Amino acid sequence: MQQLPRILLIGPMGSGKSTLGEALAARLGLDFIDIDTRIVAAAGMTIPAIFETEGKAGFRKRETDALLAALREAPAVIATGGGVVLAEANRDAIREAGLVVYLHIHPDEQLRRVAGDSNRPLLDPTDPAGQLARLQAQREPLYRELADLTVDTSAQTSEQLAAALALRLAQMRDIPGKDAQP
């Protein structure tokens, strides 16, 4: 049997990268890596504390380090942070690393999921909808450019999405010339 490819989940905050990633990894028998969790563990600080003490640039540097380290490991399902696509070096590494799945989320559902979350320093509490829209306008072209597959996560549970994605991956691996291996 062919080796499973590394699977990278990209998309904005609240799109379900971590929950879907965990469910998909369990279903495929792959390890699951959450880049934000790795950053927090390496820094010994929460994400808001990193932004506070090291600034946005400090967080982005840690994000690139954690991403590149994860990509040196065996194939896994990897959940990235919403801003990982901003740096060209990250995009180049992601493109080379495996199968990229963009998790798209409807803005209303995204707002419902993330509003009031104090662990997200980029979310402006006075105008979360506007802030999310501005981030999405900047990043959506980058998500789309990188994506091998796009999945809308607004209306299904992570288990349903994981089952559908696992089936799609199996179909891709069955089509000659459409091998999903990196």
Pinpoint the alpha helices (H) of the chain.
17-28, 35-43, 47-71, 88-97, 107-114, 128-146, 158-174
Does the footprint of ligand S3P cover residue 5 (CB under 6 A)?
no
Q: Identify which of residues 75 and 81 has a Cβ nearer to ligand S3P in the complex.
A: 81
Using CB under 6 A, which of 43, 87, 115, 122 touches ligand S3P?
Answer: 122
Q: Identify which of residues 24 and 180 has a Cβ nearer to ligand S3P in the complex.
A: 24
Residue list 30-49, contact with ligand S3P (CB under 6 A): 36, 47
CB 122 → ligand S3P: shortest distance, Å? 5
Crossing angle for the helix pair 47-71 and 88-97, nearest 10 degrees? Answer: 40
Does the footprint of ligand S3P cover residue 81 (CB under 6 A)?
yes
| Contact range with ligand S3P by CB under 6 A, out of 68-76, 92-100, 114-122, 163-171 | 114-122
- Start-to-end CA distance of the chain, whole Å, equals 15
Q: Identify which of residues 75 and 83 has a Cβ nearer to ligand S3P in the complex.
A: 83
Does the footprint of ligand S3P cover residue 120 (CB under 6 A)?
yes
Residues that bind ligand S3P (rule: CB under 6 A) add up to a total of 10
Write b or e for each residue in 129-152: b if 16 or more Cβ atoms lie within 10 A of its Cβ, otherwise e. eebbeebbeebeebbeebbeeebe
Q: Which amino acid is it at 152?
A: D
Question: Applying CB under 6 A, which residues contact ligand S3P?
Answer: 13, 17, 36, 47, 81-83, 120-122
